[in-house]
């Protein structure tokens, strides 16, 4: 009886375990190798799109800023109950001038990002509930949602019943 329980228990463990780790991949594969082929002041937008594809994040300031991301996660050891662990986290920031030529290239890996310090300060809202701007915007929202005032009439009728 006890041998059969051990065999069943052992077979369940063996069938549910895999020797190859599960890797979840997000973003551009092999970003570090691909970014090496981009040359500052030579590569243009078309070259970048051909090599890396469309950017993960695209922003417009004085110059275009394109951000590419590569992230790989795998399950951690059994002691952490299988939580996902990041083992590769690369970010490529490309700055493109008005003529479409690559002006600046910055590559950050997981170790570089651990050195970046994040400010914990928060900003407060510039308006309060009793301010003129808040009351004006609230009344505008109410007029947009109910332009004929039908909802207020229905609420009043229901409350009188």
pLDDT tens-digit map of 61-93: 666 899 999 988 887 666 556 677 788 888 999
Q: Please, are residues 68 and 92 in contact by the beta-carbon 8 Å criterion?
A: yes
| Secondary structure in 3-state letters for 44-60 | EHHHHHHHHCCCCEEEE
List pLDDT tens digits, range 102-121. Answer: 999 999 888 877 777 777 77
What does the radius of gyration of the chain's CA atoms come to, in whole angstroms?
A: 28
Q: Give me the half-sphere count of Cα atoms (radius 13 Å) on the Cβ side of residue 93.
A: 9
Provide the pLDDT for residue 61: 66
Q: What's the whole-number average pLDDT of the chain? A: 78
């Amino acid at each position: 009886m006890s041998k059969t329980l051990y065999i069943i228990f052992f077979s369940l463990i063996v069938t549910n375990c895999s020797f190859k780790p599960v890797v979840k991949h997000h973003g551009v594969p092999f970003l570090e190798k691909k970014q090496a082929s981009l040359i500052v002041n030579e590569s243009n937008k078309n070259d970048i799109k051909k090599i890396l594809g469309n950017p993960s994040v695209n922003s417009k300031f004085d110059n275009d800023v394109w951000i590419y991301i590569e992230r790989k996660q795998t399950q951690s050891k059994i002691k952490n109950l299988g939580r996902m662990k990041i083992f590769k986290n690369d970010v490529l920031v490309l700055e493109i001038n008005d003529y479409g030529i690559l002006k600046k290239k910055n590559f950050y890996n997981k170790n570089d990002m651990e050195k970046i310090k994040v400010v914990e300060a928060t900003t407060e809202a510039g308006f309060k509930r009793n301010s003129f701007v808040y009351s004006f915007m609230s009344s505008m929202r109410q007029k947009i949602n109910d332009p004929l005032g039908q909802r207020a009439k229905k609420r009043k009728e229901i409350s009188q019943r």
